[in-house]
Structure 1
């Protein structure tokens, strides 16, 4: 009797139905390392700004797999002379697993403890002790290394690499639509259906037919808008700053209070000790860290307890934009803040966010980007900004800002330090300095 074909369906608010018919993909989804992504928020602290943004890395990775599968299926059907169908599975596995190494509050945690989610992704895929590796080895002994090489951009087929990581890839296409949906911000919406119709494999990568150029333009602008309006939102960055300062304070206290941290936050000990392994890393998620912060709210150290309370209950710092020419003035502001009673080491911070919406291929720089190629009707390829004045205006230009964060209590009219408060407010309202850039209300 013939074996029944696998068909599993995930209902998704962005893509409607995500169908899985390959046993390897389904088994990867069921591994403990992949299921852990349910407990890692896709947007980290942004849910404290956009309250609907509670979606996880799990949902995003499923979405990236879905887009990659649609593309590889279409390539197999329509471009047999250019696309090798033997690349389908490695592309789909890389799409599904591309974020499997993300950690709790990933980027902020990485900055404090020196972890690297991309390196950990590769380790999860290639380590023979993981469930992910065991599933991949069912394909062939060297299949885990093939999938990992797509993640590291070393895979010998650039078509596959660019489908997973380029300036317009399955990863970015999913997270723009997904983050737009869950934040309620419509800036990230673009015509995915049209892009899927015009994407095409070429000898050294992927390109887009000229009939769909405006859909690609729309995607570039949507990406720009999402970074400016959502990913770089000052309130989300205030939560990142708070999380960073909170973990930094715990790290400083640990050497003299090991017994306390062993009881209240045992999973962090290997990171405090700078001696963590993959198992230690995989035992952490957003919920575990948040529980630790709740424990630390009653710590006798006033800074750790206050920062923990502020994070758990969303008590955000205020901020102003600043330019590098204002650096000397920031030192004066820190002095005022210290006189009022706040340790500037933990209650002030500089946070910078900048993004390059689109760039040309520049082989001379450290990490050159793969430019977007438009296929003309005669088959020739032209770089996108040569055809689009809209994209040209964004090409090679960096957008974003730097912000100086400080305690919101300083602006409280009930403060006991009237003279210092007045000096601080007067300084940031000086037309020659930060006041012209405006306070953020958070």
Structure 2
């Protein structure tokens, strides 16, 4: 039998807390799950440092990737008999759903920001490079790895296929909202996915929603909105991310200045030099990073040692509302005061900003163009969601931004009680 169509002798199932079961019958999918590159995702947390805020948030990119695959599989089961769906694209969709997060590194976005990396570039490299994943995909067809990479990169010719994996209502978002809500213990991320799957319909270049399912989609949009502000942008999580990035910045600075580490940072060297290979990238997971942080707690460099102690033992920075665009003078004065007090502002004073656009309609030519969600009316006409829903219209195109200033309160408390510097720092921080 041709590898593309080869089925397992018996269906394999994964028990899953969100979807109950993840079903695998395709030999290709089963083989991909077994690759070292995919198994590595067990060692990458889905929510980075959120476990410091929500102690249950220990789930991995592996969990999430299986969940996205399962949602895609269920969508395609519903599409099977539809005239606008080409069953030849089935395996491509399943594979892209499974592998869409393959290139995430340790602590994902924080790590990428420090080293100016893009996990999507590494996802593409793993799929197209000399890897076990690539070898399996090539067995389907020599062009199959490129097709999978194109779907994930949103450049594949069939936009319907792309929209299943990446759109404003896709399998990726539907899984992570429910999964992250489950593991953080919050109620915001829950919505009626069963209803949404039932009212999804394939059209020539996108998935649309039957108008009768509009209220389920409203619930989904609001769930996403709440999850971003209550979970993903939680200020305590952002405090731990700030410390994580400061550790990596400090370690790189020391490396560049020929500091003698007690344990040479072998796994980081090519990252510090700005030339990580795919092999280096795949070797570095969160267990390795945390091992170095444990070792660096004992380093002679006081800043690196202190930051690692803070991260490992959850001794995080405090925060206040602070907008540097409107409080530039206070920001500059704090820098000066911290320096006077012997607290290095490069590592102990940071403004972190978060912003989100919960739903938007199509704005051609703008950055991050977003295809809208369309409702399929009874007369087969398409209507953009915010034109029909007052709830969605109220938040459409509205970008919300939040700024926080992070600082080590214990260092400030440790300054001499009557010192001018301490008094002035507290005046600024306490408003």
Flag whether TM exceeds 0.5 (same fold). Answer: yes
Equivalents in 2 of 1:293, 1:3: separation in Å?
45
CA shift at 1:428, angstroms?
A: 2.9
Contact 1:232 1:400 in 2 (8 A): no
Aligned residue number for residue 63 of structure 1: 67
Aligned residue number for residue 275 of structure 1: 275
Contact 2:294 2:312 in 1 (8 A): yes
Q: Residues 211-270 of structure 1, C-alpha deviation per residue, up to 9 Å, x if partnerless?
A: 110000000000000001000100000011001111001110003336527x34211111
Contact 1:228 1:400 in 2 (8 A): no
Aligned residue number for residue 73 of structure 1: 77
Contact 2:322 2:351 in 1 (8 A): no
Secondary structure of 1:59's aligned partner? helix
Secondary structure of 1:418's aligned partner? coil
CA shift at 1:338, angstroms?
A: 2.5
Unmatched 5+ residue regions in structure 1?
430-434, 436-442
Contact 2:8 2:27 in 1 (8 A): no
CA shift at 1:425, angstroms?
A: 2.0
Aligned residue number for residue 252 of structure 1: 253
- 1:126-275 equivalence runs, <5 A: 126-127=128-129, 129-257=130-258, 260=261, 263-275=263-275
User: Structure 2 length as normaliser, TM-score?
Assistant: 0.96
Aligned residue number for residue 3 of structure 2: none
Equivalents in 2 of 1:4, 1:84: separation in Å?
23
- 1:301-340 equivalence runs, <5 A: 301-323=301-323, 324-340=325-341
Contact 2:233 2:354 in 1 (8 A): yes
Equivalents in 1 of 2:8, 2:110: separation in Å?
46
Aligned residue number for residue 121 of structure 2: 119
Aligned residue number for residue 351 of structure 1: 352
Q: Residues 300-353 of structure 1, C-alpha deviation per residue, up to 9 Å, x if partnerless?
A: 111111111111111111111122111221111222222332100110111110
Equivalents in 1 of 2:259, 2:12: separation in Å?
47
Change (3 A) 1:4 1:170: closer
Aligned residue number for residue 40 of structure 2: 36
Residues matched between the structures, number? 424
Unmatched 5+ residue regions in structure 2?
1-5
Contact 2:375 2:382 in 1 (8 A): yes
Give RMSD over aligned pairs: 1.5
Runs of 4+ displaced beyond 3 Å: 256-259
Q: Residues 60-93 of structure 1, C-alpha deviation per residue, up to 9 Å, x if partnerless?
A: 000000000100121013x1x1000011100000
CA shift at 1:32, angstroms?
A: 0.3
CA shift at 1:4, angstroms?
A: 6.5
Moved more, 420-429 or 282-291: 420-429
Aligned residue number for residue 84 of structure 2: 82
Contact 1:264 1:295 in 2 (8 A): no
Aligned residue number for residue 49 of structure 2: 45
